[in-house]
Amino acid sequence: MADMQHLLAETVRIAKEVGDLIVEHAQKPRDIHHKGRIDLVTATDIAVENFLRDNLQALLPGSHFLAEESSPNAPLLENTWIIDPLDGTTNFAHGLLFVATSIGLWREGDIVLGVINAPLLGTCFTALKGEGAFQDGVPLHVSTTTTLVDSLIATGFPYAMEEELPGLLRRMGRVLSQTQGVRRYGAAALDLAFTAAGHYDGYYERCLKPWDVAAGYLLVREAGGIVTRTDGNLFHVKNHDILATNGKIHSALQMLMYTEEDQEKNMG
């Protein structure tokens, strides 16, 4: 475990170094391009991903990468870094602070290390499998809320908005009607980190990619929460939907948001 603690410390160092680059770029005009109608990529995404690949490869020679910009279709091999260089690119493009670098390490069929660094918020979340979750060194634990009416829920919206809009509105309507409210910050990694920290009682989203959830998935688990698919089945980082909660409201939220119509769209 000492080796893993060292690996985590070095991963945090790399994440914070590249965080300085994000802060520097945030103070300058953004070089923005469109991957889709509302799916953006900036020069910062590319620069951060290149930095991460070079430094993480040096840290763990022979490792592999599943990364949003350079290798989005790579297989999950032993010692694969799953990275989102700038989760919340649209936020970054508009000068909002809710952006993060997410780094997860896949080993022996699971995520074993996770780092989510939010440089514009000045905070960093970390986790090792079996060793707990932390925010700036302080242990995290999910909330103790037991009822939906007392719960604050997070969600996100997909880029394929036209296709997903009916189901999105249907689920959100049910959740809004039975909880304290729904928040949408536009960065899945931070939604999961805030769930691990107990700020949110639950989080759900569809149309996700492995780099959106790899590190946050581990954070929630290590903070005492539960992570499944939205239908309650076992979650895998290559699934496209997620339901993460404090565990106490998991069944109630899953039943509230899930219907047979959702099941048909949820296959795969």
What domains appear along the chain, each with residue ranges and CATH number? Answer: 2-139 (3.30.540.10), 148-265 (3.40.190.80)
> Residue 125's closest CA among 262, 235, 217?
217
Please give the chain's pLDDT, 268 residues, in tens. Answer: 669 999 999 999 999 999 999 998 888 655 555 544 434 457 788 889 999 999 999 999 999 999 977 788 899 999 999 999 999 988 988 899 999 999 999 999 999 999 999 999 999 999 999 999 999 999 999 999 999 999 999 999 987 667 788 888 899 999 999 999 999 999 999 999 999 999 999 999 998 999 999 999 999 999 999 999 999 999 999 999 999 999 999 999 999 876 555 555 554 4
Residue type, 27: Q
Q: Are 183 and 203 in contact (CB under 8 A)?
A: no
SS3 184: coil
Measured in whole angstroms, the distance separating CA 181 from the mean position of its chain's CA atoms is: 20
Nearest Cα to Cα of residue 81 among 89, 91, 93, 71 = 71
Beta bridge partners of 106: 80, 111
Helix (H, G, I), strand (E, B) or coil at 135: strand
CB atoms within 10 A of CB 2: 6
Give Cβ neighbours of residue 129 (< 8 Å, ≥ 6 apart).
110, 111, 112, 113, 218, 222
Cα end-to-end span (Å), the chain:
35
| Residue 194 backbone dihedrals phi, psi, to 5 degrees | -70, -30
Beta-carbon contacts of 180 under 8 Å, excluding residues fewer than 6 positions away, are 149, 150, 151, 152
